[in-house]
A and B are shown apart, each in its own frame.
Chain A
Amino acid sequence: MEGTFFMVLAACALVPAWLAVRGANLIHAALWLGASLLATAAVYAMLGASFLAGVQVLVYVGGVITLMIFGVMMTRRHEGLVALAESRHQGRAAAIAVTLFAVIAQAINATDGLDAPLSAPVSANGSALGRALVVDHVLAFEALSLLLLAAIVGAVVIARRRDPPDAREAEVPS
Chain B
Amino acid sequence: MNALAHGASYGALIILTLLTTVAMGVWFERKFAGRMQSRLGPTMVGPVGLLQSVADVVKLLNKEDIIPRDADRGLFTLAPVLAALLSLGAAAVVPFSSTVVAADLDIGVIWVVALGGLTVIATFAAGWSSNNKFALLGAMRGIAQSVSYGVPLVLSVLVPVILAGTMSLSGIVAWQTRHHWFALWPVIPGLPALGLFFLAMLAESNRIPFDIPEAESELVAGVTTEYTGAKFVLFYMAEYVHTLVGSAVASVLFLGGWDGPIAPGLHWMVAKTLALFVAVYWVRWSLLRYRSDQLMALCWRRLTPLGVGLVLLASAWALFAPGGPA
Binding site for B on A (CB under 8 A): 27-28, 31, 34, 50-51, 53-55, 57-58, 61-63, 65-66, 69-70, 73, 78, 80-81, 124, 126
Contact = CB atoms under 8 A, between A and B. Distances in A.
B111 interface: yes
B21 interface: no
A31 B110 contact: no
B125 interface: yes
A51 B109 CA distance: 10
B140 interface: yes
Contacts of B125: 31
Interface of chain A, helix or strand or loop or mixed? Answer: helix
B120 A81 contact: no
Contact of A63 (B105, B117, B140, B144): B117
A5 to B, nearest CB: 12
Contacts of A31: 75, 121, 125
B197 interface: no
A137 B121 CA distance: 34
Given A58-B117, A62-B117, A69 B143 contact: yes
A125 B131 CA distance: 46
Contacts of B293: none
A27 B111 CA distance: 25
Contacts of A126: 165-167
Contacts of B110: 51, 54-55, 57-58
13 contacts: A51-B110, A54-B107, A58-B114, A61-B114, A61-B121, A63-B117, A66-B120, A66-B147, A73-B136, A80-B131, A81-B70, A124-B107, A126-B165
Contacts of A58: 110, 113-114, 117
B205 interface: no
Interface of chain B, helix or strand or loop or mixed? Answer: helix
Nearest to A65: B121
Interface string B95-120: 00000000001110011011101101
Interface string B34-63: 000000000000000000000000000000
Contacts of B75: 27-28, 31
B72 interface: yes
Contacts of A65: 121
Contacts of B72: 81
| 3 smallest beta-carbon distances between A and B, as pairs | A62-B117, A54-B110, A58-B114
Contacts of B243: none
Contacts of A69: 121, 124, 143
A73 B139 CA distance: 10
Nearest to A63: B117
B184 to A, nearest CB: 25
